């Protein structure tokens, strides 16, 4: 009776109705899909222009990476060459007995061979980020071998002390501390050196000797550092002749000793300040202008004295003491002003040195007194400041500026101890 409810069975009409279904199936076994009136949305792969643009961008990125790799390789090769040049110079200048370690002896007796870069290991997953040693990988990434072992991936320390490609200007470079420091810069691999002095004969001889021993361009420029126009003209000629100015050592200076303050001539006082203070400023200013224009940075080194921080006795030299104190403060001021231009400014403050300025007959008695004041019982040798000059001139001191480094064999420390001891006695 209920055949019309059976699926698939033809529907039969048992009574008249307004609509007849005929033989249509009430529940068809399959439903015919309806065609959507809108076209399907194309997939991203159907945009060839966009895909081509992405491929071009990837190719450009790959090309940029390849160019960066090539530049890094060229820089590393240049630094390796500088290291080899430095090594050869040291090999000829230092006897094996003076070299500190056997491994260093071997390094200086043979060309440097690059060590393959170790493949970095993928660290295990952890909750802390791996720590990286500050400064690693900036100058070179080859492993460095000393007696203590091999440390892969660290920057070779000696590579930071090289001066390859750098041009140095040294005032007072024909004699004394300036001459010694010029030799040190040449040994450290300086590309060229300009010597400034007022003594024509001494300057010509010094330049010729340094050219012969170092085998690099060395030029002498006769300049009175008190004359601003002469200084500016000399620096312009130096940049034209040698290409640039990267290092400046202000070593030109004079000293007037054993002159009582109440009888000190005003003209002499002004002259000493003009040479020691104003001259150092004018040379630094002219060279800094070039460094700022070239956007290459640089290192400027002043020579002050322990006389700038303490009154030396028994000699009477108020003008000299004042000039050296001013030089130290000038250097700190310039360090602050020129730091944004990557120009570092530092000061070396020597103690009692056995230089030409202190080899007068009138000072023989005082030199014995000075020697007795130092814990080592002697005066400093001029070449004992060379390492410090190279350090401040090179990238080894890249994070040092505005510093005044005392090199006085603890003479200053001895005074501090004496003052402390005197205070203890007063409080007892």
Whether residue 299 lies in the annotated active site? no
Active site residue 320: yes
Do residues 343 and 291 touch, judged by C-beta distance below 8 A?
yes
Rounded CA separation 249/233 (Å): 18
The verdict on whether omega for the bond into residue 314 sits within 30 degrees of 0, i.e. cis, is yes
Catalytic residue among 324, 352, 394, 397, which? 324
Q: Which residues contact 276 (CB under 8 A, 6 or more apart)?
A: 253, 254, 320, 323, 324, 327
Whether residue 245 contacts residue 169, with contact meaning beta carbons closer than 8 Å, is answered with yes
321: left (phi over 0), alpha (psi -120 to 50) or beta: alpha
**What does each C-alpha distance from 336 to 305, 391, 398 come to in angstroms?**
21, 20, 15
Strands 149-151 and 167-171: unpaired
Exactly one of 320, 352, 394, 397 is catalytic; which is it?
320
Of the candidates 251, 284, 305, 397, the residue annotated as catalytic is 305
Q: Is 184 exposed, middle or buried (0-12, 13-18, 19+ CB in 10 A)?
A: buried
Q: Let me know if 73 is a catalytic residue.
A: no
What token pair was written down for 272?
């000493």
User: From CA 410, how far away is CA 376, in angstroms rounded?
Assistant: 9
Known catalytic residues are: 305, 320, 324
């Amino acid at each position: 009776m209920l055949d019309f409810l059976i699926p698939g069975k033809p529907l039969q009409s048992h009574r008249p109705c307004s609509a007849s279904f005929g033989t249509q199936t009430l529940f068809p076994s399959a439903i015919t899909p309806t065609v959507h009136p809108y076209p399907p949305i194309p997939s991203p792969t159907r945009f060839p222009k966009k895909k081509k643009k992405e491929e071009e961008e990837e190719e450009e990125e790959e090309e940029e990476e390849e160019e960066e790799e090539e530049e890094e390789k060229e820089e590393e090769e240049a630094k390796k060459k500088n290291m080899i040049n430095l090594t050869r110079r040291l090999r000829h200048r230092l006897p094996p007995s003076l070299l500190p370690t056997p491994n260093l002896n071997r390094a200086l007796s043979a060309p440097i061979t690059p060590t393959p870069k170790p493949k970095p290991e993928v660290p295990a997953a952890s909750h802390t980020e791996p720590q990286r040693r500050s400064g690693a990988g900036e100058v070179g990434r080859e492993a460095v071998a000393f007696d203590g072992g091999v440390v892969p991936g660290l920057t070779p320390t000696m590579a930071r002390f090289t001066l390859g490609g750098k041009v140095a200007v040294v005032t007072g470079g024909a004699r004394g501390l300036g001459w010694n420091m010029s030799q040190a810069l040449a040994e450290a691999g300086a590309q060229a050196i300009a010597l400034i002095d007022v003594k024509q004969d001494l300057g010509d001889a010094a330049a010729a000797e340094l050219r012969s021993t170092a085998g690099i361009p060395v030029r002498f420029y006769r300049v009175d550092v008190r004359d601003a126009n002469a200084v500016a003209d000399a620096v312009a000629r130096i940049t034209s002749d040698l290409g640039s100015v990267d290092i400046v050592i202000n070593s030109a200076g004079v000293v007037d000793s054993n002159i009582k303050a109440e009888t000190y001539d005003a003209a002499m006082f002004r002259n000493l300040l003009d040479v020691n203070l104003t001259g150092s400023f004018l040379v630094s200013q002219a060279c800094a202008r070039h460094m700022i224009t070239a956007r290459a940075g640089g290192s400027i080194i002043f020579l002050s004295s322990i006389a700038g921080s303490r009154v030396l006795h028994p000699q009477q030299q108020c003008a000299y003491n004042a000039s050296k104190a001013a030089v130290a403060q000038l250097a700190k001021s310039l360090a602050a002003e020129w730091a944004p231009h990557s120009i570092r400014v530092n000061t070396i403050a020597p103690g009692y040195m056995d230089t030409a300025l202190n080899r007068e007959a009138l000072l023989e008695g005082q030199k014995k007194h000075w020697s007795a004041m130092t814990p080592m019982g002697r005066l400093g040798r001029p070449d004992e400041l060379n390492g410090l000059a190279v350090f401040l001139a090179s990238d080894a001191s890249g994070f040092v500026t505005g510093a005044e480094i005392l090199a006085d064999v603890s003479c200053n420390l001895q005074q501090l101890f004496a003052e402390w001891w005197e205070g203890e006695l007063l409080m007892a």
